[in-house]
């Protein structure tokens, strides 16, 4: 078996505001496995400034994995614990190769009604950070498209203006009509977080992600105990590699939800471990992509569907780019679908 990898720069259709600034491009890496007659592909979806494996030796480690592909999936994953995005890329590539060998379709990673185009999955409509009018415009567009769950990033503009936006949404749409989620990306100071959560709770929000910065277990636990609205941990999960530390985090903070991003937490294997530990503690969860191309998004979406999820997932990033790989993934209303009649663009050219 031979492995090759290639860097790819995704170009945003329009600059997109995040807690780490405005993004115009997104770096990703593809890894291809080939046995001479069949091939598989995976995406190592690194997020600069957020991924725990955003390190100077990243490409060196990717080259090591490619050069040592003979070690096999299990051994490679064990040796790449500190590189969760490479773990995710390899897991996907191995599964893709097996699928190509079995069905001649390298993208049927987790066969189901979703991958066969018979069923869709509800997702949230994501509102990017920006000026008040821009955020307001996005919200209206998502509502017009048919979304009943909207996720709004907060903490970038004046808090009172964000409150205004939420007030405006609720004045037109009840909690039965629109589910509202907000993501603070750790923007609140611990001393003022509870007061802000109380203000936000007036708008019947589904949840708030990561209200304060990571690593403050005691303060986060206090917030989770006293909060008037459910709290979801997101960035808090990044860099927590082994089961004992995962258990410690969940036990010491005891959140209402956790959010799983396979590229950031060790792929499918890492996600499975978090899911098991969370469910043992009656903590609910949902899955979110992390600005991957359609290669990574497809893997995450197919995996997520097998978990028989019912709440809206965060899987709608495929249409952000001008140069995404053409795929059968589509957004219909508020659902992501896999159009089984459509075809993927050939991926061999990515490695030339």
**Residue-wise pLDDT tens digits, 330-339:** 999 999 999 9
Backbone angles phi, psi at 66, to 5 degrees: -65, -40
Structure tokens at 312: 């809206």
Q: Is 2-105 assigned to CATH 3.10.105.10? A: no
Q: How far is CA 188 from CA 50, 151, 157, 159, 322, in A?
A: 18, 18, 12, 10, 34
Measured in residues, the chain has a length of 352
What's the confidence (pLDDT) of residue 58? Answer: 97
Q: Where in the chain is the domain with CATH 3.20.20.120?
A: 121-338
pLDDT at 348: 79
31 DSSP β-pair partners: 5, 42
Give the pLDDT score at 273: 98
Residue 156, token pair as written in the block:
């970038």
d(CA 151, CA 317): 13
Contacts of the segment 200-205: beta carbons below 8 A, 24+ positions apart = 200/163, 200/166, 200/229, 201/228, 201/229, 203/166, 203/167, 203/169, 203/170, 204/170, 204/175, 204/180, 205/166, 205/180, 205/181, 205/229
- Spans of the chain below 70 pLDDT: 17-20, 156, 317
| Catalytic residue (one of 153, 196, 246, 341) | 153
Does residue 153 have an active-site annotation?
A: yes
Residue 204: what pLDDT? 96
Domain(s) of CATH 3.30.390.10: residues in the chain: 2-105
Residue 261: active-site member: yes
Quote the pLDDT of residue 19. 60
pLDDT at residue 17, as a whole number: 65
- From 26, 142, 246, 261, active-site residue: 261
The 3-class secondary structure across the chain, one letter per residue, is CEEEEEEEEEEEEEEEEECCEEEEEEEEEEEEEECCCCEEEEEECCCCCCCCCCCCCHHHHHHHHHHCHHHCHHHHHHHCCCCHHHHHHHHHHHHHHHHHHHHCCCCCCCCCCCCCCCCCEEECEEECECCHHHHHHHHHHHHHHCCCEEEEECCCCCHHHHHHHHHHHHHHCCCCCCEEEEECCCCCCHHHHHHHHHHHHHHCCCEEECCCCCCCHHHHHHHHHHCCCCEEECHHHCCCCCHHHHHHHHHHHCCCEEEECHHHHCHHHHHHHHHHHHHHCCCEEEEECCCCCHHHHHHHHHHHHCCCCCCCEECCCHHHECCCCCCCEEEECCEEEECCCCCCCCCHHHHC
CATH number of 121-338: 3.20.20.120
* pLDDT, tens digit (0-9, with 9 covering 90-100), for 94-147: 999 999 999 999 999 999 999 999 999 999 999 887 788 888 888 899 999 999
């Amino acid at each position: 078996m031979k492995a090759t990898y290639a860097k790819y720069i995704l170009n945003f259709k329009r600059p997109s505001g995040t807690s780490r600034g405005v993004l115009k491009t997104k770096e990703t890496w593809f890894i291809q496995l080939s046995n001479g007659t069949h091939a598989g592909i995976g995406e190592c979806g690194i997020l600069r400034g957020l991924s725990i494996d955003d390190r100077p030796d990243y490409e060196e480690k990717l080259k090591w994995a490619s050069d040592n592909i003979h070690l096999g999936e299990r051994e490679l994953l064990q040796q790449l614990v500190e590189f969760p995005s490479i773990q995710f890329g390899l897991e996907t590539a191995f599964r893709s190769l097996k699928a190509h060998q079995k069905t001649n379709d390298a993208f049927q990673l987790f066969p189901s009604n979703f991958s066969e185009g018979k069923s869709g999955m509800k997702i949230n409509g994501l509102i990017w950070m920006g000026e008040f009018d821009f955020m307001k415009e996005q919200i209206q567009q998502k509502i017009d498209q048919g979304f009943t769950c909207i996720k709004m990033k907060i903490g970038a503009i004046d808090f009172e203006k964000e409150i205004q936006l939420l007030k405006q949404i609720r004045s037109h749409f009840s909690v039965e009509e629109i589910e509202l989620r907000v993501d603070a990306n750790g923007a609140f100071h611990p001393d003022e977080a509870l007061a802000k959560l109380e203000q936000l709770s007036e708008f019947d929000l589904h949840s708030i992600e990561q209200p304060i910065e990571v690593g403050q277990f005691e303060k986060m636990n206090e917030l989770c105990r006293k909060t008037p609205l459910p709290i979801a941990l997101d960035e808090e999960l990044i860099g927590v590699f082994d089961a004992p530390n995962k258990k410690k985090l969940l036990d010491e903070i005891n959140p209402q939800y956790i959010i799983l991003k396979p590229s950031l937490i060790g792929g499918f294997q890492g996600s499975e471990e978090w899911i098991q530990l969370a469910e043992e503690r009656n903590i609910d969860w949902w899955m979110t992509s992390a600005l991957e191309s359609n290669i990574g998004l497809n893997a995450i979406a197919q995996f997520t569907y097998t978990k028989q999820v019912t709440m809206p997932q965060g899987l709608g990033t495929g249409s952000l780019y001008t140069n995404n790989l053409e795929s059968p993934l589509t957004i219909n209303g508020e659902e992501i679908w896999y159009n089984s009649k459509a075809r993927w663009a050939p991926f061999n050219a990515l490695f030339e």
